[in-house]
Amino acid sequence: MQILMCNPQHYGVYYSINPWMCLENATDSNLAMSQWLGLAQIISSVGGNIIEMSGEPGLPDIVFTANAGTYHEGKVVLSNFAHKERQAEKPLYDKQFKKIGIETIHLPDSLRYEGAGDALWGHGPATGKTLWCGHGFRSTKESHDEVRRLFKVDTCNLKLVDPHFYHLDTCFCPLLDDHALIYCGAFDRLSYETLKWCFYLLEVPANEARQFACNAVRIDRNVIIPDGCPETRKLLEGAGYTVFECPMTEFIKSGGACKCLSLALQP
């Protein structure tokens, strides 16, 4: 599995666009690099083939490559970022995808869409391959409708209601065997009931959700989560997964963790 990651050389908290970002809570650049390298090492050890890109000064959040776009069958629908602070990332992602031979698709400028932060592929016992789409903070339902039309795939819209979980991948992670990690408090009732009907849910406690337990990377039956989430680890191991823990403290300061730092480009 190819996975796009971006070197965190220019990473830091320099503005605030979500409840996690506090300008007084400075990041440790050396520690952030160490944590990023640790995540990359685990991903590589379980079969991930990392494609590394470089960022630029003034774009600290470009490290969160999950937000670059949504991949399907050799194409990527690029993101249209909701906040002006991140909009200059788009040309760099566009250039990187083209460099590795992936066709890029641009949505209309009027649509707000934040890629695999809000659009996750998954199978449930009641569904085939579906693109699960979050809206409420960064991406709109209209953007998901357009992605469905472009990719000609099934989608299901889910409403996010807690600003601490502003992207779908912060509170939901589809797995194998019809399982999914979830923090139920991030969704409205209808969305939660939909997911409950469509998946065997592994529900993480609120304190571990705020450690970004659901912001997990799955490669085959291996799942990488932030450290400090013992109940989530127990849930995953009980469901037959091998769990790897990775310190993510510096990236949680910006509202991201393992999944946010990686974008899977399925073969």
CA distance 267 to 1: 6
CA distance 11 to 24: 15
Q: Which residues are catalytic?
A: 167, 260
- Strands 263-265 and 2-6 come out as antiparallel
CA distance 255 to 100: 28
Q: Are 85 and 62 in contact (CB under 8 A)?
A: no
CA distance 103 to 73: 10
Element (H, E) at 249: helix 249-252
Q: Which residues contact 128 (CB under 8 A, 6 or more apart)?
A: 154
> Which amino acid is it at 117?
G
